[in-house]
Amino acid sequence: MSSFDFVVLGGGSGGIAAARRAARYGAKVLLIEAGDLGGTCVNRGCVPKKHFWNAAYIAETLHYAGAHGFKEVSPTFEFDRFSELVRGEVRRLNGIYEANLEREGVTLIRGWGRLLGSGRVMVDGQEYHGKHVLLASGGRPRRPKGIIGEELGLTSDDFFLLKEQPKRVLIVGAGYIAVEFASVLQSLGSEVSLMVRRDRVLGDFDDSLSQGLTAEIAEKMTLLTQTNATKLERRSDGVFVSVDGARGPGEIGPFDVVFWAIGRDPNTDGLGPSDGGLESIGVKLDGAGAIVTDQYENTTLPGVYAVGDVTGKVTLTPVAIAAGRKLADRLFGGQPDAHLDYSLVPTVIFSHPPIGTVGLSEAAAVERFPGQVKVYSARFTDSYYSFANPKPKTSMKLVCVGEEERIVGLHVLGRSADEMVQGFAVALRMGATKADFDRTVAIHPTASEEFVTMR
């Protein structure tokens, strides 16, 4: 039986980051991955999504060209050609990941790994021993239960495999994947309907973001609020969907494609012994099937750890990378207290317009700091849209706490929000106050200057 200092199950963002960092410290590392290296982010998530978002952004720029004095043009977007370009880039990145592992001495085994117990891992009938074992198997798209014909719907995993652009699309979901796909396809010319169970999208985000994006979406596409799908049926002219909700029962369609974007589940099925799940060997799972870990990423089984989406903590690629590296620092880098602080994690929703956010929403701040919250906000038209019609609005908010007005939440919806929030996240991490922002000289004319001039 081959032995290693560190055995990693999963070649996604968190697993690879931990494996490479551990190898740099001199650990003997084994990484096990059944699919393409890079995990969801590289193959079916943020990387190809951003390329499509860029294409959609260019389409929107062309749309506004006439308002800036250019003679209007109507270029044709070649979905099939662009999709192949994106798939080629993903394949290139797969190769880079494999080359990096080889260069740093990480042993790579292709196959599905199962944890048999502390220090014991099985891959295709071969057992391996690891002094430390990391579970980093990521997540997968959730499919609905109890809906007749649900198999007719696709998931985010299928989006980047499409050979041609669907013209009539229904997306079911209200989270970031749903609004991103809806925005991209609508900007590229598809006729999009978005179905949400509640009255708005992104219900867990600050109200300024959730309400603002809901309004933008309602202007650009068909938004079906307080509606649930109950049945899918394929007919000669497409897929029809039976629905129920605030307006009562009915049917919508036809659609070329229906996408389920109703959330993601942790990849814990099949990760334990073949005759039992992870809990049969002492790895505790929560009610959603995610692996329970403490602040140091320890599971309830000694010598076994977990990072990334499989834990359900903060399901973002940079979080998985940071957590994996911190774990390697602790186990092999002589840093016994190293661990990731999951607070003040910035994130971006690549919708149209994009969203940038870090810290607490106004509602969460009021709940945590009753009677101590003060909010500053601004809503305006970016100069980019001065001559356009309609004129999308940019909205910004600072959520402050206490007499010193420490900023605990920063939120922006509007053009360039995706690039604004990273720098401001550094300021919040350092404990910036409203006075600190006020003392900062504005860059004019920009949208981001509003954050340092709010009154």
Note whether 93 and 229 are same-domain residues.
no
Tokens describing residue 345? 């994690």
Note whether 178 and 245 are same-domain residues.
yes
Indicate whether 421 belongs to any domain.
yes
pLDDT of residue 12: 97
Q: Which domain holds residue 78?
A: 2-140+265-332
Note whether 427 and 293 are same-domain residues.
no
Note whether 270 and 208 are same-domain residues.
no
Which phi and psi (to 5°) does residue 150 adopt? -60, -25
- Classify burial at 222, counting beta carbons within 10 Å of its beta carbon; exposed 0-12, middle 13-18, buried 19 or more: middle
Whether residue 444 lies in the annotated active site: yes
Which of these is catalytic: 63, 339, 411, 444?
444
Q: Which residues pair with 224 in a beta bridge?
A: 195
Indicate whether 348 belongs to any domain.
no
Helix, strand, coil % in the chain, rounded to nearest 5? 35, 25, 40
Contacts of 332 (CB under 8 A, 6+ apart): 5, 6, 21, 22, 25, 26, 27
Identify the H or E element spanning 131. Answer: strand 126-135
Indicate whether 347 belongs to any domain.
no
Indicate whether 346 belongs to any domain.
no
pLDDT digits (tens, 9 = 90+) for 358-395: 999 999 999 999 999 999 999 999 999 999 988 899 99
pLDDT of residue 66: 92
* Placement of tokens 């198997």 in the chain: 137
- The parts of the chain modelled with pLDDT lower than 70 are 1
What is the maximum span of the chain, computed from C-alpha positions, in angstroms?
71
Note whether 136 and 163 are same-domain residues.
no
Vertex 314, ends 311 and 316: CA angle to 5°? Answer: 105
Last residue in a domain, options 262, 293, 310: 262
pLDDT of residue 242: 98
| Encoded amino acid at 82, one letter | F
Residue 66 belongs to domain with CATH number: 3.50.50.60
* Placement of tokens 């499919």 in the chain: 143
Tokens describing residue 333? 């880098």
Note whether 271 and 123 are same-domain residues.
yes
pLDDT of residue 390: 85
Tokens describing residue 122? 């099985």
Find out whether 210 and 397 touch, Cβ atoms under 8 Å.
Answer: no
Residue 415 belongs to domain with CATH number: 3.30.390.30
Note whether 316 and 377 are same-domain residues.
no
pLDDT of residue 104: 96
Indicate whether 344 belongs to any domain.
no
Find out whether 177 and 48 touch, Cβ atoms under 8 Å.
Answer: no
Indicate whether 112 belongs to any domain.
yes
Spatial distance between the Cα atoms of 220 and 2, rounded to a whole number of angstroms: 58
pLDDT digits (tens, 9 = 90+) for 297-346: 999 999 999 999 999 999 999 999 999 999 999 999 999 999 999 999 99
Domain count, the chain: 3
Indicate whether 342 belongs to any domain.
no
Indicate whether 432 belongs to any domain.
yes
Last residue in a domain, options 204, 228, 262: 262
Which of these, 412, 425, 429, 263, lies nearest to 349 by C-alpha position?
Answer: 412
- As a three-state string, the secondary structure of 262-292 is CCEEECCCCCCCCCCCHHHHCCCECCCCCEC
Note whether 169 and 270 are same-domain residues.
no
Spatial distance between the Cα atoms of 58 and 309, rounded to a whole number of angstroms: 31
Note whether 326 and 415 are same-domain residues.
no
Contacts of 401 (CB under 8 A, 6+ apart): 365, 369, 372, 373, 374, 408
Note whether 321 and 399 are same-domain residues.
no
pLDDT of residue 1: 67
Note whether 363 and 402 are same-domain residues.
yes
3-class SS of residue 118: coil
Which of these, 177, 136, 142, lies nearest to 160 by C-alpha position?
Answer: 177
